Amino acid sequence: MNKQSKILRRTVVLVSPLLTKTKIETLSYIYHVYGRILSETLEYMWRNRLTSWTKAKKTLYKLFREKYPDIPSHYIHEAIRDASQRLKSFVKLKKKGVAYTDKPVIEKWSVGCDNQLWKLTLRGVGVATHRGWVHIPLGFHKQFWRYYNGELTLRSSARWKIIDGRLYLYVVFEKNVVLADKIPSKIYGVDINENNVTIYEYPSGRCITIVTDFSKIVLGYAYRRSAIQEKWSSVLGVKGNRRLKVALEKLRERSVKKDIKYKLAKKVVGIVEDGLVVLERLPKKFQDKVIERNKKLNGLDVHRLKQSSIRGVQALIVEKLFENGVPLVFVNPSHTSSTCPVCGSKLAPMTGSAQRAGWKPRYVKCPGCGFTHDRDVVGAVNLVKKYTLDVGGHAVCLLKGVHDLHVEWSVTTMKHGVETQPILAKPTTT
């Protein structure tokens, strides 16, 4: 491991109800003065080739203090620091040749607050302004309390802005996650697929496939949704059709899918938390690439792939691993499910590849050494192998006895509620 500890950061947005006119006026004043200081500082630093914010502050602070004597002085500090950070990231982009403009421009901003400028209370937040403290009620949600009551600490700085008459407060929670300083004795390769997550444990050789059948669930919902749409929109149309809206809401599609993903992530983390976890490094536009490669897919299939969001499941798993301080590494996933883990030959498929009707083992065979197994098992084994060979280097010994690779495979199914059972009627697709 190259890092001993890592700071885990999570931003949470808290939104206020519609604010009174006076409060909006007061906050808007701060917002715009902050924006002006931000852009003037940025302009000044850019012109004078300055990058240090302390240097910029030396000349600018007095100037702004005279120009805007009424606002709390800490806003000036924050805006100047904000400007220098923006300048730094602009210079970085410029060096990479990916900056869109010749000089840094400010299009959007939020107001940065240090601990003197905001106060969180049980009902909302107090914001320091030129007219004293302004108190704003906030809707605290489950996510906020989960972090607040958990092991994370609330950072002393926050940001806010006004959108459509409401205050949006961005607070940050952090936690210093200490990673194991010696190499864990167990390594887990976690291969995330549309219909299952397969975990290979090294060195025991145990392998478990957790079947999720996500494609079935997503397809089921797609069918039901289009059936509902057809039923309710034929007379009243789609736009502004309340009955259609209510019928779709009753499906609880989003929350059910989210719930399944959470359960899955929890289950996976429960299995791997005593070791080091190896995951695939997913390309940014992962799902688009899969879709592009399969041009033959029809609309529903594309929908299914997008919705299955392997990335979303992985993100949840990664988050839970962080929270629990489980070390993880990412490896390049290329050829992980098509290369023989024993001899390195290209594997040949023995049984079907598409899993539209739910999970079934898909066996692959090695023409070189005869090794035969499910392709997702192969994927998980190869993730561990990639780590031990490429990343771990000499620190980890090679797969024990590569010539008699030991895999002890079991398959388990995630149980879903009745609402996730797909209906069988197939709608007409256009």
Dihedral sign from CA coordinates of 359, 354, 369, 192 = negative
* Chosen residue from 342, 380, 384, 399 binding Zn ion by CB under 5 A: 342
Binding-site member from 271, 300, 369, 389 for Zn ion (CB under 5 A): 369
> Minimal distance in Å, beta carbon 104 to Zn ion?
55
Q: What dihedral angle (degrees, nearest 10) is formed by the CA atoms of 15, 19, 23, 27?
A: 40
Q: Residue 318's CB: how many other CB atoms inside 10 A?
A: 17
Would you say 112 or 341 has its CB closer to Zn ion? Answer: 341
364 pairs with which residues across the strands? Answer: 349, 373
Min CB(367)–Zn ion separation in Å: 8
The span of 207-215, 261-269, 284-292, 343-351 binding Zn ion (CB under 5 A) equals 343-351
Burial (CB count <10 Å: 0-12, 13-18, 19+), residue 384? buried
CA distance 24 to 386: 56
Nearest to 224 by CA among 168, 275, 300: 300
Residue 343 contacts Zn ion per CB under 5 A: yes
The pair of structure tokens assigned to 298 is 């029809």
CB atoms within 10 A of CB 188: 27
Query: If binding is defined by CB under 5 A, does position 340 make contact with Zn ion?
Result: yes
- How many other C-beta atoms can be found within 10 angstroms of the C-beta atom of residue 210? 19
Smallest gap from Cβ 403 to Zn ion, in A, equals 10
Question: 352 or 368: whose CB is closer to Zn ion?
Answer: 368
366 binds Zn ion (CB under 5 A): yes
CB of 335 to Zn ion, least distance (A): 13
Binding to Zn ion by CB under 5 A, coded x per residue (else -) over 286-325, reads ----------------------------------------
**Residue 269 interacts with Zn ion (CB under 5 A): yes or no:** no
**Is residue 368 at the binding interface for Zn ion, with CB under 5 A as the rule?**
yes
Cβ proximity to Zn ion: between 224 and 373 the closer is 373
End-to-end CA distance of the chain: 52
Looking at the Cβ atoms of 343 and 389, the one nearer to Zn ion is: 343
Residue pair 75/117 in contact (Cβ under 8 Å)? The answer is yes
Total residues at the site for Zn ion (CB under 5 A)?
8
Q: Segment near Zn ion (CB under 5 A), from 62-70, 141-149, 208-216, 334-342?
A: 334-342
Using CB under 5 A as the binding rule, whether residue 34 contacts Zn ion is answered as no
Cα 221 from Cα 239, distance rounded (Å): 21
* Residue in the block written with tokens 């999970």: 359
| CB nearer to Zn ion: pick between 150 and 367 | 367
Binding site for Zn ion (CB under 5 A): 340, 342-343, 345, 366, 368-369, 371
